[in-house]
């Protein structure tokens, strides 16, 4: 059985981007260009043309975008999504007989051969194009065909046949009756711009009170909003805001036994006061929370909440749906473990329960409940310990009804697992940036994120610290490390965040040497912060956030180019916007203890600078200007003064 017309001669291969052979959509935001490449060729010596076909899921008609020949049978075209939603795209290719004729005509004429018959053949091709054209162009094409047939001067005929006017009009009506179509339709999801560019500040609402020893409330959080807005953050992320269980409650520094009055970990969700759709009573009411969400909007800030699908032994789910948990032979319920660690205050959910359909519906309803309260950004705790197939279904269903929803995967685990979470729907992802410290490590990691197919689906969000993670660099590097790490996070990645108060105050004491956890962690205590206190780190955070807002080159992750250095303790990289008008060059001293100096090679070609030119670099961190010459230039960075340059090339 012949499945398609045997006269379709064009082969279409290696269409990129596509994820898992088209199983998952690639990711873009509205206004962010998608470039598609493909190998398109045919047998013999006939000329081939190709087009990218694109349509939004709500549209019925395909948009055709001509592909440009790049050499060696490779073709390329780009399109920019103008609205949110899923776009379909594929590639079409066909033999272009007119172009083939034109090239043959030119060669024969230049070889001083008789081309009388060739002109007649061309007249036939032009006449066929007229049959595909609307009336106003069809008549023009017929007139041209007649002109070629009647032309007695071959030189004039060739000149006319090869003219731009003829070529352009005939190309508008190609002969596609034997066109080939790529065997697969691919997908791209266009999301709102915040999925690509966002700035997160994490703090615990219970520590928002101005009064020492007093449990904070959502009303207290409202008082903190102007300060966070002043620093330039557009997203505040709140750890779980739900009732905390009493059973097996953890005490200070993760002690197995809590002392009277100790608040417990917010991630031990659920008590007699409710579960994942309830508010911790000491934080206020649901109306207070909605008020906070609305007040934040006045400062152009969105509230993101933590969704942790795990339960305290006191969670209502445990009594109402015991089948959703694992029970041990002694009749006790299985708590969370990561041997040798034990989390006696947390029960994992059993996604292999026979009642999985009701479980899925209930968990999805948690997101729907908070969306109804005005929350559209969710930091999902440990999603890699839950079912992949559940997340794919849940995120797809939520985003179908609420395309503004953004899901950040808080997963520090194996690379393939983190990549799978991004493929199945998470809009942003935590990364290994926290542990990438050397020049080699950072370059290698950024290359992996931006120059491989991870760029098409894995949207990184760089965090220099979290309540769970106090990396060794911050422990030992002090203020200088806090400054360099936040500036790198904010300029390497267009999405970044930090666990705020301890970061800006430079708190860096671990539980013990070699342990990447904060001593007296806020996870287990109510803290009191001096919200009016100013620090150099806070000033740097404020400055770099302003720089990000004012420079489009820093509003995407994918446009990075590294420069060479003669000192491994110096890191140099450049970023430019799509129009090559905004040019940023960052130089970082990776050594938090010593002055480092050396020569850096500016990537002048990437920055669209001539090799021998003189140009001004303005350090936006210090508002200092320098005149630089050629590619190689000298820098010296003092960790006690400012360990980074963020230059704008003017």
For this structure, is 410 an active site residue? yes
Question: Which SS3 state, helix, strand or coil, does residue 191 take?
Answer: strand
The answer to whether residues 275 and 243 touch, using CB atoms and an 8 Å cutoff, is yes
Cα-trace Rg, the chain: 31
- How many whole angstroms separate alpha carbon 456 and alpha carbon 459? 8
Question: Which SS3 state, helix, strand or coil, does residue 649 take?
Answer: strand
Q: Is the bond preceding 17 in cis, omega lying within 30 degrees of 0?
A: yes
Q: Which one, of 533, 414, 410, lies nearest residue 467 by Cα? A: 410
Structure tokens at 562: 């590294």
Which phi and psi (to 5°) does residue 51 adopt? -140, 145
The sheet that has 632-637: what strands, in order across it?
A: 564-565, 596-601, 632-637
Structure tokens at 332: 């006790």
- How many whole angstroms separate alpha carbon 30 and alpha carbon 13? 28
- How many whole angstroms separate alpha carbon 464 and alpha carbon 111? 68
Structure tokens at 624: 């200092």
Question: Which is the catalytic residue, given 189, 222, 381, 504?
Answer: 381
- How many whole angstroms separate alpha carbon 122 and alpha carbon 105? 9
For this structure, is 381 an active site residue? yes
The residues near 161 (Cβ < 8 Å, ≥ 6 apart) are 102, 105, 119, 122, 148
Question: Which is the catalytic residue, given 191, 202, 345, 410?
Answer: 410
- Count H helices and E strands in the chain, helices first: 15, 30
Which phi and psi (to 5°) does residue 589 adopt? -85, 110
Question: Which residues are part of the catalytic machinery?
Answer: 381, 410
């Amino acid at each position: 059985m012949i499945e398609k017309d045997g006269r379709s001669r064009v082969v279409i291969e290696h269409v990129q981007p596509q994820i898992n052979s088209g199983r998952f959509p690639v990711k873009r935001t509205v206004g962010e260009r998608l470039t598609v490449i493909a190998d398109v060729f045919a047998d013999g010596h006939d000329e081939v043309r190709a087009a990218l076909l694109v349509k939004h899921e709500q549209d019925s008609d395909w948009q055709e975008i001509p592909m440009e020949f790049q050499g060696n049978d490779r073709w390329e075209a780009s399109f920019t999504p103008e609205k949110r939603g899923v776009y379909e795209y594929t590639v079409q290719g066909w033999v272009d007989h007119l172009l083939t004729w034109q090239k043959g005509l030119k060669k024969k004429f230049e070889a001083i051969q008789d081309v009388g018959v060739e002109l007649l053949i061309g007249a036939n091709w032009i006449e066929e194009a007229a049959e595909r054209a609307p009336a106003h162009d069809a008549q023009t094409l017929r007139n041209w065909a007649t002109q070629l047939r009647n032309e007695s001067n071959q030189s004039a005929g060739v000149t006319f046949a090869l003219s731009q006017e003829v070529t352009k009009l005939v190309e508008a009506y190609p002969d596609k009756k034997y066109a080939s179509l790529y065997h697969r339709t691919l997908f791209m999801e266009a999301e709102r711009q915040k999925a690509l560019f966002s700035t997160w500040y994490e703090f615990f609402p219970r520590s928002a009170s101005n009064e020492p020893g007093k449990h904070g409330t959502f009303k207290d959080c409202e008082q903190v909003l102007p300060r966070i807005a002043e620093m330039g953050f557009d997203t505040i992320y709140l750890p779980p805001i739900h009732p905390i269980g009493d059973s097996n409650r953890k005490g200070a520094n993760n002690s197995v036994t809590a002392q009277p009055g100790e608040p417990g970990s917010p991630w031990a969700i659920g008590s007699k006061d409710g579960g994942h759709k309830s508010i911790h009573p000491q934080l206020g009411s649901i109306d207070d929370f909605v008020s906070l969400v609305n007040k934040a909007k006045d400062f152009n800030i969105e509230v993101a909440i933590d969704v942790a699908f795990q339960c305290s032994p006191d969670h209502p789910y445990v009594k109402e749906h015991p089948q959703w948990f694992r029970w041990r032979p002694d009749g006790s319920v299985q708590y969370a473990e990561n041997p040798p660690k034990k989390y006696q205050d947390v029960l994992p959910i059993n996604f292999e329960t026979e009642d999985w359909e009701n479980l899925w519906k209930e968990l999805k309803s948690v997101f729907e409940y908070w969306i109804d309260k005005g929350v559209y950004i969710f930091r999902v705790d440990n999603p890699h310990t839950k079912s992949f197939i559940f997340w794919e279904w849940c995120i797809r269903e939520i985003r179908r009804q609420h395309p503004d929803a953004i899901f950040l995967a808080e997963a520090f685990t194996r690379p393939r697992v983190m990549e799978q979470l991004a493929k199945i729907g998470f809009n942003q992802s935590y990364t290994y940036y926290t542990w990438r410290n050397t020049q080699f490590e950072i370059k290698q990691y950024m290359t992996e994120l931006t120059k491989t197919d991870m760029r098409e689906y894995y949207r990184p969000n760089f965090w220099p610290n979290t309540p769970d993670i106090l990396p060794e660099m911050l422990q030992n590097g002090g203020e200088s490390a806090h400054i360099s790490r936040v500036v790198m996070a904010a300029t390497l990645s267009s999405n970044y965040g930090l666990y705020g108060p301890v970061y800006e105050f430079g708190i860096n004491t671990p539980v013990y040497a070699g342990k990447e956890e904060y001593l007296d962690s806020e996870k287990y205590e109510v803290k009191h912060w001096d919200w009016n206190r100013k620090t150099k780190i806070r000033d740097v955070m404020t400055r770099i956030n302003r720089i990000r807002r004012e420079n489009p080159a820093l509003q995407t992750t994918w446009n990075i180019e590294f420069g060479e250095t003669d000192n491994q303790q110096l890191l140099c990289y450049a970023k430019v916007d799509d129009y090559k008008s905004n040019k940023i060059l960052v130089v970082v001293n990776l050594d938090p203890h010593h002055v480092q100096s050396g020569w850096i090679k500016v990537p002048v070609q990437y920055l669209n600078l001539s090799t021998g030119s003189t140009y001004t670099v303005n350090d936006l961190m210090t508002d200092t200007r320098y005149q630089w010459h050629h590619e190689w230039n000298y820098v010296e960075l003092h960790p006690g003064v400012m360990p980074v340059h963020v230059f704008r090339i003017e």
